[in-house]
Structure 1
């Protein structure tokens, strides 16, 4: 029997829009107090808000913890990992 596409693990735990724990993170492409761009196992994840801070980052475990006021989470299916954040944003706003 052939195995088809094996699903990878990605979890988001959001608490009162003030803190978030993310697993299945491959890379942090950019971050500042207004937005954080993560490459996850299931695509790109843009986190927007105010006073955002990365409290814990473990790329070996694929985990990121953030704090601040989280306004939105938006996913994009970019198939080529490692692309620069600017090209992702350019495709997102076409």
Structure 2
């Protein structure tokens, strides 16, 4: 009988489901948010289990964030949403210094 090695575990971020609900371009409900990278009145950048989410608009404000569940509520005028892949950090500051 051949033994199979266990499949590699998925990264922790991939396990958390991500949903995004936009209501009348005035509010966003999201799950799977791992951290808020930045936020001001013109937009927010969020790290989610599906990549980096950039939200642009006017009078943007975060009203609720649960670090345990990854749930987030944002209010304001939503003008755009964009997903990008996170950039890997290869080598840190020393590698950039040596370039």
Q: Normalised by the shorter chain, which TM-score bucket?
A: 0.7 to 0.9
| Map of 1:12 onto structure 2 | 20
Give the Å deviation of 1:59: 1.3
* Equivalent residues of 1:12, 1:20 under 8 A apart: yes
- TM normalised by structure 1 equals 0.76
The 5-angstrom pairing of residues 32-47 of structure 1 reads 32-47=40-55
Runs in 1 of length 4+ with deviation above 4 angstroms?
A: 1-7
- The verdict on how the C-alpha distance between 1:74 and 1:5 changes in structure 2, with shifts beyond 3 A counting, is farther
The Cα offsets for residues 28-72 of structure 1, whole Å up to 9 and x where unpaired, read as 010000010000001000000000010101111101100000000
* Gaps in structure 2 of 5+ consecutive residues: 90-99
Gaps of 5+ in 1: 82-94
Q: Please tell me the root mean square deviation across aligned C-alpha atoms, in Å.
A: 1.9
SS of residue in 2 equivalent to 1:26: strand
The answer to whether the 8 Å contact 1:23/1:62 transfers is: yes
* 1:27 is aligned to 2:35: yes
Shift of 1:3: 4.8
2:88 and 2:9 mapped to 1: Cα distance?
17
Conserved 8 A contact 1:43-1:79: no
Name the CA distance, whole Å, in 2 between partners of 1:49 and 1:26.
21
Q: Could you tell me the TM-score, scaled by structure 2's length?
A: 0.73
